[in-house]
Amino acid sequence: MKEVVIDSLGEACPIPLVKAQNAMKEMEIGDVLIVQIDHSCAMKNLPEWARKEGHNVEIEEVDDAEWEVIIEKAK
Amino acid sequence: MSDTTNTNSSGSISTTRRRSSRPRKPKKNMIPIGLAVALVFVIIGILLAQRSAMLGFFWMTGIAFGFVLQRARFCFTASMRDPYLTGGTSLTRAVLIAFALTTIGFAAIKYGYFAKGLPIPGMSYVVPISLATIVGAFMFGIGMVIAGGCASGTLMRVGEGFMMQVLALVFFVVGSLWGAHDFEFWKYFFISKGKAVFLPDVFGWTGAVFVQLLLIAVLYVVALKWEQKKSNE
């Protein structure tokens, strides 16, 4: 089981999502991806995409307007 | 707080609550700041309304619009981009619903003026459509995806304090001014070559509303089917 962290702070909306999508392709089932974001728009589409794909998602507000989206690859 | 380092290999994540990889700072209480800002908004609103009622009205509607945009994470860029990127069309459908509501609202306003024999407001926005519309829309689409937001989205995220989009805002202003400066050229050589269509002239008032709502409904169904198709892949 592996843990991948993507630092996407300061990057605008589609970039965190595309980075996460690419990282997920390389990962095994059970691996965990942590995406650090501070763009409110990515807060919506990143979890929405991951949940739709069937992964387990958790969101944590680490700081004011800084979030970590934690995705466990489920399939 | 230290059990989530990369060396951690203890079993399933879904059952144990994960903790952040960084220590969490204690949260500041934002409510006093919020109340203070609301008070400033109201004071500015009153001052503006004393100069001109319209200015005060614009101030309030602007703030209300920004608040809705921010809290709803409503994003016109995402509504056009996410169907392709994530297969999700929730925002696309939200925009379509907004279009349907404004169709009814604007038709009612315009018909109200028309029925009284007054000049219909907003007719200067009925502009010719041509190839220029398609090319322009395509360029705007590329721009808004790179900039991370359309006009309203950029403004909203500047308000959120997202630095990259302060830069986008600067060039948004530069581009708008440049466009306005050369607008006569574009209008003369490209825009005026097209044909302006005002739907009530073609279908009648009821027909125009009906045709437009029908088109929006078709797009809504397509968006819904697209999301279902994408999530089954």
Q: What is the DSSP string of B66-111?
A: HHHHHHHT--HHHHHHHHHHTS--HHHHHHHHHHHHHHHHHHHHHH
Same domain, B121 and B210: yes
Pairwise CB contact (< 8 Å): A65 & B160: yes
Please indicate, yes or no, if residue B17 is contained in any of the structural domains.
Answer: no
- Percent of chain B past pLDDT 70, that is, above it, reads 88
Clarify whether residues B140 and B185 are in a common domain. Answer: yes
One domain, residues B232 and B187: no
Q: How many domains does chain B have?
A: 3
Instruction: Tell me, yes or no, whether B185 and B224 share the same domain.
Output: no
The verdict on residue B1 lying in a domain is: no
Q: Are residues B154 and B122 in the same domain?
A: no
Residue B124 Cα distances to B40, B101, B120, B203, angstroms: 36, 21, 10, 20
Q: Name the token pair of B183.
A: 């607008």
CA B3 – CA B19 distance, rounded (Å): 8
Residue B14 lies in a domain: no
Does the distance separating the beta carbons of A63 and B24 come in below 8 Å?
Answer: yes
Torsion over CA: A19, A22, A26, A27 (sign): positive
The answer to whether residues B187 and B137 belong to one domain is yes
The confidence score (pLDDT) of residue B215 equals 95
Contacts of B208 (CB under 8 A, 6+ apart): B107, B199, B200, B202
B66 and B79 assigned to the same domain: no
What is the model's pLDDT at position B22?
55
| Residue B82 included in any domain | yes
ipTM of the predicted structure? Answer: 0.72
Q: Does any CB of chain B come closer than 8 Å to the CB of residue A56?
A: yes
Angstrom distance (rounded) from CA A15 to CA A3 = 20
Residue B159 lies inside a defined structural domain of this protein: yes
- B226 within domain boundaries: yes
Phi and psi at B170, nearest 5°, equal -55, -45
Tell whether B94 is covered by a domain: yes
Interface mutation target, options B4, B5, B21, chain A, most CBs of A under 10 Å: B21
Closest CA relative to residue A12, chosen from B212, B86, B160, B101: B160
Q: For the beta carbon of residue B154, count every other beta carbon within 10 angstroms.
A: 24
**Domains within chain A, CATH numbers bracketed:** 3-72 (3.30.110.40)
Phi-psi region of B118 (alpha: psi -120 to 50; beta: other; left: phi over 0): beta
Question: Residue B190's pLDDT band (boundaries 50, 70, 90)?
Answer: confident
Find chain B residues with C-beta within 8 A of A1's C-beta: 9, 11, 13
Asked whether residue B168 falls in the same domain as residue B217, the answer is no
Cβ separation B14–A45 shorter than 8 A? no
- Cβ of B147 within 8 Å of Cβ of A48? The answer is no
Are both B225 and B133 inside the same structural domain?
Answer: no
* 3 state SS for A29-50: CCCEEEEEECCCCHHHHHHHHH
Q: Which residues of B touch A (CB under 8 A)?
A: 4, 6, 8-9, 11-14, 18, 20-22, 24-25, 27-28, 70, 73, 75, 77-78, 81-82, 85-88, 90-91, 145, 147-149, 153, 157, 160-165, 230-231
pLDDT at B23: 59
- Out of B80-89, B106-115, B141-150, the most confident range is B106-115
Same domain, B120 and B202: yes
Residue B121 sits in which domain range? 75-126+197-233
Residue A40 forms contact with B (CB below 8 Å): yes
Quote the mean pLDDT of chain A.
Answer: 84
Give the global pTM.
0.75
* Residue predicted with more confidence, B97 or B125: B97
* Residue B175 and residue B154 in one domain: yes
What 8-state DSSP symbol labels residue B125?
G
Q: Per-residue pLDDT for A64 more than 80?
A: no
Q: What's the rounded mean pLDDT across residues B180-185?
A: 89
Q: Is residue B150 in a domain?
A: yes
Chain B residues whose CB is inside 8 A of the A71 CB are: none
Structure tokens at A44: 């919506």
Within this chain, do residues B100 and B202 fall inside the same structural domain, yes or no?
Answer: yes
